[in-house]
């Protein structure tokens, strides 16, 4: 069945450091891939997405590239800010009836 | 504002009580969902409805019963609440595989 595996946290970085959060997936067909962000006390917000192989999703300085050959969708940001502290979820969907989420990676950015 | 709204935001109740959480979306999406998020932030799908029809019903105790009076509403009723039901419950909606979810802000349920 479909599944998503993302790196375990928590991750702690200094401001302006480079961020990578790894995400790999298992799917039977051609899924769409997503990154969601959850700030403390809030619901999940869509951060970026990619719907086919080699697509790059980007938003707010974050990027992720849909790599079919490595079944990966790693999240990157060149220079993190304190305001990026949140929990990040990788997710996939093949049908729209269900989205499969990773376990979440908590990021704390310290000044 | 276009959104997914769920009420209440906080719910504190005693074991054995029955409670409901309401969810409404004005985005015109056909599919709505309920997710449970535990204390470790793990998200587990509970139910999925497409145009008022139940699509996904995961292994959830039958004390949990979803109701969708129309495609813009998906309510969650919980009977005989237990301590283990304490969690944050998220409603979400989607217009298809390529579009992702729009989540509500969550209902933090605490059973004492």
Q: Which residues of chain B have pLDDT under 50?
A: none
Best probe of the B interface among A30, A43, A52, by most B CBs < 10 A, is A43
How far off is chain B from A15, nearest CA to CA, in Å? Answer: 24
CA dihedral A74, A8, A98, A45 (to 10 degrees): -70
Cβ distance of A93 and B97 shorter than 8 Å: yes
Q: Residue A40 and residue A61: Cα distance in Å, rounded?
A: 20
Q: How far apart are CA A68 and CA A30, in angstroms?
A: 9
- A61 phi/psi in degrees, rounded to 5: 90, -10
Predicted pLDDT at A102: 94
Cβ of B90 within 8 Å of Cβ of A44? The answer is: yes
Q: Closest CB to B56: pick one of A45, A91, A97.
A: A97
Tell me whether residues A44 and B98 touch, CB distance under 8 A.
no
pLDDT in tens, A30-68: 899 999 999 988 899 999 999 999 999 999 999 999 999
- Residue B97: the pLDDT is 77
| Four-CA torsion A66, A61, A9, A90, nearest 10 degrees | -30
| CA-based end-to-end distance of chain B | 35
Residue A86 class from Cβ within 10 Å (0-12 exposed, 13-18 middle, 19+ buried)?
A: buried
pLDDT given for residue B59 in this prediction: 79
- Helix (H/G/I), strand (E/B), else coil: A83: helix
Please name the member of B40, B42, B101 whose beta carbon is closest to the beta carbon of A99: B101
Q: Is B58 helix (H, G, I), strand (E, B) or coil?
A: coil
Confidence of residue A8 (pLDDT cuts 50, 70, 90): confident
Q: Phi and psi of B85, rounded to 5°?
A: -80, -10
**Which residue of A43, A97, A101 is in closest CB contact with B48?**
A97
In chain A, how many H helices and how many E strands? 0, 12
Asked if the model's pLDDT at residue A25 lies above 80, the reply is yes
Pairs of residues, one from chain A and one from chain B, whose beta carbons lie less than 8 Å apart = 65
User: How much is the pLDDT for B99?
Assistant: 84
* Distance in angstroms (rounded) separating the CA atoms of residues B14 and B33: 26
Are B88 and A37 within 8 A, CB to CB?
no
Q: What is the pLDDT of residue B54?
A: 86
Residues of B in contact with A59 (CB under 8 A): none
Task: Give me the pLDDT at residue B2, please.
Answer: 65
């Amino acid at each position: 069945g479909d599944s998503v595996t993302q790196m375990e946290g928590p991750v702690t970085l200094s401001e302006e450091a480079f961020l990578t959060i790894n995400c790999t997936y298992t799917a039977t067909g051609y899924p769409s891939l997503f990154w969601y962000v959850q700030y403390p006390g809030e619901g999940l917000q869509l951060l970026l997405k990619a719907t086919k192989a080699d697509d790059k999703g980007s938003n707010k300085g974050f990027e992720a590239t849909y790599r079919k050959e490595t079944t990966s969708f790693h999240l990157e940001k060149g220079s993190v800010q304190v305001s990026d502290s949140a929990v990040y979820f990788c997710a996939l969907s093949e049908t729209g009836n269900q989205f499969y989420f990773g376990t979440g990676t908590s990021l704390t950015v310290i000044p | 504002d276009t959104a997914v709204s769920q009420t209440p935001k906080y719910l504190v109740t005693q074991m054995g009580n029955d409670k409901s959480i309401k969810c409404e979306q004005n985005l015109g999406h056909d599919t709505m969902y309920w997710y449970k998020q535990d204390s470790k932030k793990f998200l587990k799908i509970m139910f999925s409805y497409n145009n008022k029809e139940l699509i996904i019903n995961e292994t959830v105790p039958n004390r949990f019963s979803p109701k969708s009076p129309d495609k813009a509403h998906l309510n969650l009723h919980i009977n005989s609440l237990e301590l283990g039901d304490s969690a944050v419950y998220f409603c979400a909606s989607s217009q298809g595989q390529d579009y992702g979810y729009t989540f509500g802000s969550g209902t933090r349920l605490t059973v004492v």
